[in-house]
Structure 1
């Protein structure tokens, strides 16, 4: 005897409801991940000239790229004749050109200020993160096979950087030029391997003591702002960008040639004297980002 199997039929709406219930039970709800702590978020550098003495970044910031340079350092003690000469020369220079700004003196233990002069041995070197140790090894190796030497200064000169964004008042190197050239040339194979620019073929080694912005290096409308400010030091900034806590820097077309003429007439003779400018160079330095490393030269 055949049995009829009764088929239970469902409406389409009931089927959809059942499937929806099953779907809701099968898929767990996604949990929200906790947000990152603000201390772990890397902030992108802000290219704000008001925060960087009016300077504008020429080469855009790239994560993982490190600006570096190699140099020798000269410490000019506060109680030395050289220290007083540099102070006097800076005062004279800024009276002749108020747009000049000297580099800040180092304050050690908040009691003794001194000048830390740098003589560059390379142009800016741009490294990837994994190349930083390579540069340190190269500089260390160069230091270990180079002898100590003495340098002196002879006169005042004006230099512009390659980008023509800043101009510098500097002290020319006299004795010690050959030793500085040997150190600079020692970096050439490494720089060539990285496809970086070498230092100048016929370098004029110097130590900068003051600087000024060159006109055309900021995005400010200098002409339209001139009537808003009576002080020449305020004429380079927009009104909304001037604040009591922000230093204002006025760009210039160039430093007058008469500046070095006057400085050399007054100070070249004592500058080149034995009492002022005979300095021992016994370390080779490299700055990578904000970190400075140094190695002693061979005795």
Structure 2
């Protein structure tokens, strides 16, 4: 199911836009996290392009995310032989969780712990409680392996785009307000920013394992 954990890996930051890894890659260690899937409509991507265009006018050059999701854990390091039991633990804990509605329509700026990347995201305003309940179960699985649990009082969000460094000051004031106005006035924005949370995934290295909610 997984490639040989003893194959040595050489990282090249030029392959991922100058991003700096939070964890140095080591043989047998897999950077892993859990998340809820968000499959955007084509019109959502058009709306995002317009938001990014306005950001450029304010001197902020953003890179669109390759995929869209809501994080349900921090990125943790799993040993290769932990992966299957860890994923199975999460799957069993969430087997009776029902699908639910999420609305993410408030733009907010986030920065990673290392201050190496900033993210423009859509904060979840509906579905927050259900996401908290899922995180509680994921945290229990993390604790089984003595791994760090999720943030206290999390701001659940869908990251839309990113840039290198901490640029929160650049978004302050009129910039973020203007970006929010672009989103609010986009045709059918109220439909584009709501979705049903139906699938939970665990990504371990370059491997993704998913399972559906009820």
Give how far 1:140 is off. Answer: 1.4
- Which residue is equivalent to 1:197? 148
Indicate the structure with greater strand content.
Answer: 2
1:210 is aligned to 2:189: no
1:103-146 superposed Cα distances (whole Å, 9 cap, x missing partner): 24xxxxxxxxxxx4210000002101110011210221133121
Q: 1:184 aligns with which of 135, 140, 145?
A: 135
Q: 2:180 aligns with which of 244, 247, 264?
A: 264
Counterparts of 2:187 and 2:207, CA distance in 1: 32
- Equivalent pair of 1:172/1:206 in contact (CA under 8 Å): yes
TM-score (norm 2): 0.87
Larger radius of gyration: 1
* More off after superposition, 273-282 vs 152-161: 273-282
Secondary structure of the corresponding residue to residue 90 of structure 2: helix
1:57 is aligned to 2:57: no
Give how far 1:148 is off. Answer: 0.5
1:281 is aligned to 2:197: yes
- Which residue is equivalent to 1:296? 212
- Equivalent pair of 1:285/1:293 in contact (CA under 8 Å): yes
Give how far 1:276 is off. Answer: 2.5
Give how far 1:275 is off. Answer: 2.5
Q: Which runs of no fewer than 5 residues in structure 1 stay unpaired?
A: 1-39, 105-115, 216-251
1:155 is aligned to 2:106: yes
Give how far 1:196 is off. Answer: 1.5
Structure 1 pair 185–95 and aligned structure 2 pair: CA distance change class (3 A): same
1:77-118 superposed Cα distances (whole Å, 9 cap, x missing partner): 21x4x33322211221233234321124xxxxxxxxxxx421
- Equivalent pair of 2:183/2:189 in contact (CA under 8 Å): no
Q: 1:129 aligns with which of 77, 80, 85?
A: 80
Q: Extract structure 1 runs of 4+ deviating beyond 6 A.
A: none
Q: Which runs of no fewer than 5 residues in structure 2 stay unpaired?
A: none
TM-score (norm 1): 0.64
Counterparts of 2:75 and 2:91, CA distance in 1: 18
- Which residue is equivalent to 2:40? 76
1:240-264 superposed Cα distances (whole Å, 9 cap, x missing partner): xxxxxxxxxxxx6854313312212
- Equivalent pair of 2:40/2:192 in contact (CA under 8 Å): no
Secondary structure of the corresponding residue to residue 105 of structure 2: strand
- Equivalent pair of 2:9/2:26 in contact (CA under 8 Å): no
Alignment root-mean-square deviation, CA: 2.3
Question: Which structure has more RCO (C-alpha within 8 Å, separation ≥ 6)?
Answer: 2
Give how far 1:167 is off. Answer: 0.6
Counterparts of 1:208 and 1:156, CA distance in 2: 10
- Equivalent pair of 1:214/1:254 in contact (CA under 8 Å): no
1:11-38 superposed Cα distances (whole Å, 9 cap, x missing partner): xxxxxxxxxxxxxxxxxxxxxxxxxxxx
